[in-house]
Structure 1
Amino acid sequence: MRISSRRRPLPVAALAAGALVAAGLALATPTASATPAATAAPGATSAAAETAAAHSTAPAAGKAAATPLPTAVYSKISDWGSGFQGQYVITNPMTVPLNTWSLQFALPATESVTSMWGGTETVSGTTHTVAAQSFDTTIAAGASVTIGFDASYSGTYADPSACQLNSDPCDGSADQKPPTAPSALTVLSTTSSAASLSWTGSTDNVTVAGYNVYSGSTIVATSPGTAATVTNLSPSTSYSFTVRAYDEAGNLSAPSAAVSATTLANTGGGHLPGVAAPFVDIGAWPTPDLTQIAETTGLRQFSLGFIVNGTATCSPSWFNAYAMSAGFEQSDIASLRAIGGDVKPSFGGEAGTELAQSCTDVPSLTAAYQSAITAYNLTQIDFDIEGSAVADPASIDRRSQAIAALQQSAAAAGKPLTVTLTLPILPSGLTSDGLYVVQSAVKYGAKIALVNGMAMDFGDIEAPNPSGQMGKYAIDTAQSLYNQLTPLYPALTPAQVWNMIGVTPMIGQNDDSSEVFYQSDMQQLLTFAEQQHLGELAFWDVTRDGNACTGSLSKCTDITQTPYEFSKMIAPYQG
C-alpha cells in the first residue's frame, strides 16, 4: 500500500518526552447495563441528585474529582492621589483550556476608568464588563491573562466590588450555571452488542468537562468528546438513549432529545467478532484527526501506516520522521481510546525500509518492535510486508522469530498482543513470496490472528475487464486465501479459517487506471464478509475517503462520493 508522498521533518518540539499512553488508558465502557426501550423508566432525577451521584461514583459515572475553577484576582499597582492603576489577573487552574471569558466588576461613582488594556470594555452605570479580545479568546490550561486599567477618582480610593468571572464569583468558589443541552444525538452504528452514538456538543460558561450517556435514568457510558460506544447490549433489542453534559463544577445539563437504537441479531456460529479497521495514512498532511474521524463515521478501529526504519540502523520511526520517543499522535490516540476506540500500527508499507531488513539479528529486531509497543501501550500490531521485504526470506524469518518472542514476553507479563499480516494478494491468492511469510510464521511459532490481503492493483492478466467486477475480484482473493490457509492451519475449523481472513481494497481509482473500486463493490464485499464472518474488513485509506475529491490518489478517490461514504458503510461491521 502507498504511504503519503509528503513527508515532514521531525520538529524539535515533537522530540519532547510525551509517552502519554505508556501507562495505559481505560476505555469508555458502560457503568451499568442499558435498559431496553420497552421497559426503560422515563423519569429522571434532579440535576442536584444526579450531580451528587456522579460525584459519589467517580470516575465510573464520568465525573472527575472536584477541579479548581478560574479566578480573577484584583490588585492596585499604583496611586497618584487623583488616580490609580489597577489590574485583574485571570488564572485558569483547570487541565483544559478556558475557551472564552468575561469579567465584570463595579467601581464607586467617584471612580472612572480612563483607559484599559487586555480586553474590550463596555460600561453600564458603575458596572464595567470586560470581554476577551477577538484574537485572544482562550486561556490555556494553567495560564493567566492580565487586564489592566487606569482610573481617576475623587475623595477616598476604594477597591472594585461585585467581581464576577463568566457570571460566577471571581474567587472560584462557585459555579451554578449548567452547560447547554447536547443536540442532534445520532446513532452512528450498531452491532449485536453495542451502539455507537454521536452528538453536537454543549457550551458552558466555564468549560464542558464531559458527557454522560443514559439509558432511562442509568448512566451507561461516558465520554470526554461528542461520541461514545455503549457496550454489553443484548442482540435484537431496542434501546433509548439520551446524553447530558457536565462541567468542571459538576453541573449537569438538561438531557438531549432521546434516540432509539436497535442492536443487530447475534450471528452465532462460534466465530470471533470481526472488525472494520481501515488504514489511515498517518503521514498525510495535515495529520489525520483519528478521534474526529471516529466521531464522524462511527469507526472505532484504525490500522495506522506506517512504522519503518528511521535514519539510524534498526531504529523504528513513523514514516522516517518521528521516533517512538517523540510522542507523535499519542494525544489523539488517547482521545480515541477514551471513546472506546483503538489503533493497530502497521510496520512496513510500500515505502521506507521495514525493520526486519535493517535489524540484522532477532534480539535487536525484537527490541525495536517492543519499543513501539511500549511507547503506545499496544495490544495489537500489523506487519504490512510488500515490495522488497516480501521477497527477502532472511528478514522474513527474523521477523517471525521476533514476533514469537514478543508474544512470549507479552504472555509472561499477562498482556495481550494480537498480530496480523497484511500482504499483497491476487484473485488467485497470495504470491509464493507472500505465502512464505505465513509459512515462516507457522514454522517459528508466531501466532498470526489474521492474514489481510491487499485486494488492489491486480493487473489485466489476473483481473481482466475489471469494470464493475472489482468487488467480485476482492471476494476471489478471500476465497483463494481460504484455500491457502486451510492446509497451513489444519487444527482450525472452516469457520475459524474464514475468521482469520481480512480484505483491504483500494477504494475509488486504483493505481491501475482500469481498476476502480466503487461503493457497489464495497457493498458486495461487505455482504460476503458478513456471510463468511471474515475477521477484518478494511480499505486504503480513510483520508482519501474523507476528502471525496478528484486529484492525487494519495489524497482522493477520484469517484463521485460523499465524505467518508466508505467508512460509514463498513463501520457497523462485526463479522
Structure 2
Amino acid sequence: MRRLSAPLVLLIGMLLAVLAPPATAAGTPTASFSKTSTWDGGYQGAYTITNSGGTTLSSWTVEFDLPSGTTVGSYWDALLTRTGTHVTFKNREYNGTLAPGASATFGWVSTGTGTPANCKLDGAPCTGGSGADTTPPAVPAGVTVGSATGSSLTLRWTAATDDSGSVAGYEVSRDGGTPVLVTATSYTATGLQPSTTYSFRVRARDAAGNLSAYSTAVSGTTSAGGDQQPGSSLSTAPYVDMGAWPTPSMPEMATASGLKNYTMAFITASGCKAMWFNAYDPRDGWAKDQIDDLRANGGDVKVSFGGASGIELAQACGSVDALFAEYDAVVSAYGLKYVDFDIEGAATADPASVTRRSQALARLQQAHPGLRISLTLPVLPEGLTADGLNVVKSARDAGVDLDVVNVMAMDYYRSIDYGDAAVQAAQSTFTQLKSLYPGRSDAELWAMIGVTPMLGQNDDGHIYDQSDARQLVAFAQSRHLGELAFWESTRDRNACTGALYQCTNIPQSPYEFAKIFATYTG
C-alpha cells in the first residue's frame, strides 16, 4: 500500500479542522438509578456511572439516603459503608478508572421498596449539571382519613407518578406542621388527643429531591375517650387449640371457667388458601355456632393465623392482593372484630412475607374499619428479638394500626423464674415500643402490650405455676396491659399429667388458671 506524503497529510488535516463542526463542551459525570427487578417487599437496584466529562475519572463515590424501612442487603461491584439510612458506595479496584464516555455499574438487593433520594456522585448531584431532573412528581390523589382511635388517625392515598418512573417517598404535614417522610401510601398519626379534629396534606418527593405541591387538606376526628374504651379490646382471651381432638367447645369452657373470650388457633395456609389447621375451610363457617353462642352471652373471639407448626398465609401467597383476599374471606365469614397473627420461627426472619403481610393488613383495616389486629411474637426477658421488632416496624410503616403486640413469655431455655421473666419481658417490650411510637403516652403503650405464658410445664421443662399467674395479673392491673392470654385452654381444662399438648403436668384443679386470669378486666 502506498503511503501519503507528509505535505498531503498536513493539508488534509487543515481542511478537516476547517470543515469539522465546533466541538461540544464536555459534560459532567452522572449516576443514574434503575430497578432491574422488583417483587413484593423489595427490588434489585443498580446505579450506572457514566463519565460524560472530558477527563478520565480515577475513582468514584455514590452516596444517597434510603427511607426508613428500606435497607441494602447483598451488593456487588462496589464497596459499601452506611451511617443510619445514609448509604455510600465506592468503586472496587477494577472499575474505578473511567475514561471519557466509559461507564461502570454496581447493584444491590433491597429489603423494602423505598428508592434512593439525595443522590450525589463525588459530592455533586448524580444527575450532573445539564439534564438534571427538575420536574416534580404529580400531586398525590385520593387522600382520605380513617381508622380513628382515641389517639390515632390513619391517612391513605393513591401512589403519585413521576417522570423518573416512581417517587422516592411522601411528606405528610399535620395541621401545617413540619412534614414526616414516609415511603408507603399510608401513614398513621399517633399521640393525638381524643375527640379532636386534625388536618393533613400530602406531597410527593422524587429521587432528585423535587417536591410536588401539597394535596388539598383533608380532616379527620379521633374517637372519644382514648384507645381503651369499654369493650374495645379483649382484655383476657386465652388460646384454644381448635385442632385438638375432640374439638373443644368454647361455650362449655366459658361456662365452667368464667372467661368469656377466646383466641381460636390456628388458621394456616393450604397453598394460598386459608384453612383451619389444613382441615376445614373457614368460608364454610366452621365452628361459627360456637362463636355465635359466645357472642350471645357477652363474649367474643379473636381468630389467630399462623402458629408454630403451620405456615402463615403471607409465606404461601405470592402477592398482596391474593393474601388480602384470604384474610378478608375469614374476617367476613365470621364477622370478626379481632384478628391475631402468630409469627414464629423462620417466618419472623422472612422480609418478603413480613412486608407482604403488613401491606395486606393495612388494606384489611381499610376494608373493615375498626378491625383490631394483634401480632403475637417470640420474646426474651430482654424484649422482642431483632426479627420480631422488624415485624412490628414493618406493620407500623405500612400504616397498620396495631391493637396489641402480644409476647410469648415462654420457653426461654434458661434457669430463671418464669413468673419474673414474663413481667420483665413485658417491661422490656414496653421500652422497645416507646422507641417505635415516640408520640404515644406511657398509658397508650402499656395498652398495646399483651402477654401469653405457657401454663404449667413449658417445652423446655421449666414451670409457670399459679403463683406466677397471679403475679402477672397483678402486674397487668398496675399497668393496664392491653391483653392477657395463655397457652392453652384445653390443657387448663384437663388439669392432667401426660403429653404436653394435653396436660400442664403440675398439681392443679380444672380451669384453675382460667379463673385466675378471669379476674383481669383491663
Q: Establish whether TM, by shorter chain, passes 0.5.
A: yes
Instruction: String of CA shifts for 1:5-50, please: whole Å, max 9, x gaps.
Output: xxxxxxxxxxxxxxxxxxxxxxxxxxxxxxxxxxxxxxxxxxxxxx
Q: Distance in 2 between matches of 1:450 and 1:489?
A: 13
**1:533 to 2:493 alignment:** no
Q: Distance in 2 between matches of 1:455 and 1:507?
A: 10
Structure 1 match to 2:43: none
Q: Identify if the C-alpha distance between structure 1 residues 550 and 405 changes in structure 2 by more than 3 Å, giving closer, same or farther.
A: same
**1:509 to 2:457 alignment:** yes
Q: Distance in 2 between matches of 1:496 and 1:476?
A: 19
Contact preservation (8 Å) 2:261, 2:294: no
Contact preservation (8 Å) 1:279, 1:540: yes
Amino acid at match of 1:442: R
Contact preservation (8 Å) 1:507, 1:518: yes
CA RMSD in angstroms comes to 1.4
Q: Distance in 2 between matches of 1:277 and 1:400?
A: 23
1:465-484 alignment, distance < 5 Å: 465-466=415-416, 469-484=417-432
SS, match of residue 449 in structure 1: strand
1:32-51 alignment, distance < 5 Å: none
Contact preservation (8 Å) 1:309, 1:355: yes
Contact preservation (8 Å) 2:457, 2:463: yes
Contact preservation (8 Å) 1:272, 1:499: no
**1:451 to 2:398 alignment:** no
**1:434 to 2:394 alignment:** no
Instruction: String of CA shifts for 1:120-168, please: whole Å, max 9, x gaps.
Output: xxxxxxxxxxxxxxxxxxxxxxxxxxxxxxxxxxxxxxxxxxxxxxxxx
Q: Distance in 2 between matches of 1:309 and 1:404?
A: 20
**1:299 to 2:259 alignment:** yes
Q: Distance in 2 between matches of 1:346 and 1:325?
A: 15
Structure 1 match to 2:491: 544
Which of the numbers 293, 318, 335 marks the counterpart of 2:293? 335
**1:378 to 2:336 alignment:** yes
Q: Distance in 1 between matches of 2:285 and 2:302?
A: 16
Q: Runs ≥4 in structure 1, deviation > 2 angstroms? A: 268-274
Q: Identify if the C-alpha distance between structure 1 residues 371 and 491 changes in structure 2 by more than 3 Å, giving closer, same or farther.
A: same
Contact preservation (8 Å) 1:459, 1:512: yes
Amino acid at match of 1:308: T
Q: Distance in 2 between matches of 1:276 and 1:531?
A: 15
Structure 1 match to 2:307: 349
Post-superposition offset of 1:270: 8.6
Amino acid at match of 2:332: T
Instruction: String of CA shifts for 1:36-91, please: whole Å, max 9, x gaps.
Output: xxxxxxxxxxxxxxxxxxxxxxxxxxxxxxxxxxxxxxxxxxxxxxxxxxxxxxxx
Structure 1 match to 2:378: 424
Amino acid at match of 1:482: F
Amino acid at match of 2:310: G
Instruction: String of CA shifts for 1:345-397, please: whole Å, max 9, x gaps.
Output: 10000012110001111011000100101111111100000012111111000
Contact preservation (8 Å) 1:305, 1:347: yes
Contact preservation (8 Å) 1:271, 1:533: no
Amino acid at match of 2:268: V
Q: Distance in 2 between matches of 1:325 and 1:437?
A: 28
Amino acid at match of 2:345: G
Q: Identify if the C-alpha distance between structure 1 residues 271 and 339 changes in structure 2 by more than 3 Å, giving closer, same or farther.
A: closer
Q: Distance in 1 between matches of 2:508 and 2:282?
A: 36
Structure 1 match to 2:509: 562
Unaligned runs of 5+ in 1: 1-267
Contact preservation (8 Å) 2:339, 2:374: yes
Q: Distance in 2 between matches of 1:494 and 1:434?
A: 21
Q: Distance in 2 between matches of 1:494 and 1:314?
A: 39
Post-superposition offset of 1:327: 2.6
Instruction: String of CA shifts for 1:461-498, please: whole Å, max 9, x gaps.
Output: xxxx33xx211000000000001000111121001101
Using the aligned pairs only, state the percent identity.
53
Amino acid at match of 1:297: S
Structure with bigger RCO (C-alpha 8 Å, 6+ apart): 1
Contact preservation (8 Å) 1:455, 1:506: yes
Contact preservation (8 Å) 1:509, 1:517: yes
Post-superposition offset of 1:272: 4.8
Q: Distance in 2 between matches of 1:539 and 1:448?
A: 20
Q: Distance in 1 between matches of 2:488 and 2:229?
A: 25
Amino acid at match of 2:449: I
Structure 2 match to 1:224: none
Structure 1 match to 2:274: 316
SS, match of residue 291 in structure 1: helix
**1:279 to 2:248 alignment:** no
Q: Distance in 2 between matches of 1:397 and 1:272?
A: 30
Contact preservation (8 Å) 1:507, 1:541: yes
Post-superposition offset of 1:269: 10
**1:289 to 2:219 alignment:** no
SS, match of residue 371 in structure 1: helix
Which of the numbers 433, 436, 440 marks the counterpart of 1:492? 440
Q: Distance in 1 between matches of 2:482 and 2:284?
A: 32
Contact preservation (8 Å) 1:380, 1:419: yes
Q: Distance in 1 between matches of 2:273 and 2:377?
A: 23
Contact preservation (8 Å) 2:284, 2:333: no
Give the aligned length: 295
Amino acid at match of 1:520: S
Post-superposition offset of 1:552: 0.5
SS, match of residue 266 in structure 2: strand
Q: Distance in 2 between matches of 1:364 and 1:564?
A: 40
**1:407 to 2:365 alignment:** yes
Q: Distance in 1 between matches of 2:308 and 2:345?
A: 6
